[in-house]
Chains A and B, each alone.
Chain A
Amino acid sequence: MDITLIYRIAGVGIIVAILHIFLTQAGRQEQAQMLSLAGVLVVLLWLVQIIAQLFRNVEMVFRWW
């Protein structure tokens, strides 16, 4: 379940990088920037969730009941 997330992020990264190169070559700098920003934000949303999960787990494991 966690492994599929990193493959998803890798796929988004590669697609965004390729489209960024295309749009830059076609002379549409603004759209390339917007695409890049959107990709970063989407991945950031996923990242925040797994970071929160990690911190919860660490807090649960390293504790004395």
Chain B
Amino acid sequence: MDDIIRVVGIAMVMTMILSLLRGAHTPLGVQLSIAVVISILLLLMAPLRELMHFFTELGRRSGMQGIYLDTVLRTIGIAYITAIGTQVAKDAGESGLAAVVELAGKVFILLAAVPVLGAILASLLNLLP
């Protein structure tokens, strides 16, 4: 409860300052918006770590193979970073850059999923006579 109030307060104050700064000095406005986004995400890291700890504990207790949960976690991380990059680029009006970052995220997620795809293929070949 405390943290969300802090985040919303920062966002409100920074929205006011940003609306002033974007008109007066655009490059510093863009930099300030990036800094705000990254600071809020850094604030979110501690709760996120607890959540991820819970999920890894759950996976460990269910006796799941490590490589599958590792792939899922890695994919979530890539998606998270890609979303940040895309949003920041779009915010600054660089939609071309945002599209490239999004494409890179898709490629790396697919690359991270290759071992799982291989395992699915292998089990399919086992099922076939």
A: interface residue count bin: 35 or more
CA distance A5 to B35 in the complex (A): 8
Whether B70 contacts A3 by the Cβ 8 Å rule is no
Q: How large is the interface on B (under 10, 10 to 19, 20 to 34, 35 or more residues)?
A: 35 or more
Render B85-100 as a binary contact track against A, CB cut-off 8 A, 1 for contact. 0000000000000000
CB atoms of A50 and B52 under 8 A apart: no
B24–A9 contact, CB under 8 A? no
Q: Min CB distance, B55 to chain A, in Å?
A: 10
Q: A39's closest neighbor in chain B, by CB?
A: B28
B6, B14, B38: the one contacting A10 at CB < 8 Å is: B14
Q: Is the interface of A mostly helix, strand, loop or mixed?
A: helix
Within B42-63, the residues touching A (CB, 8 Å) are 42-43, 45, 48-49, 52, 56, 59
**Is B106 interfacial (CB-CB < 8 Å)?**
no
Task: Tell me the nearest residue of chain B to A61, going by C-beta.
Answer: B49
Q: Which residues from 17 to 46 on chain A have a C-beta closer than 8 Å to any C-beta of chain B?
A: 17-18, 20-21, 36, 39-40, 43-44, 46
Known A64-B59, A64-B70; 6 more pairs at CB < 8 Å:
A6-B32, A6-B39, A13-B32, A16-B25, A20-B24, A54-B84
List 3 A-B pairs, minimum CB-CB distance, nearest first: A62-B77, A17-B24, A64-B70
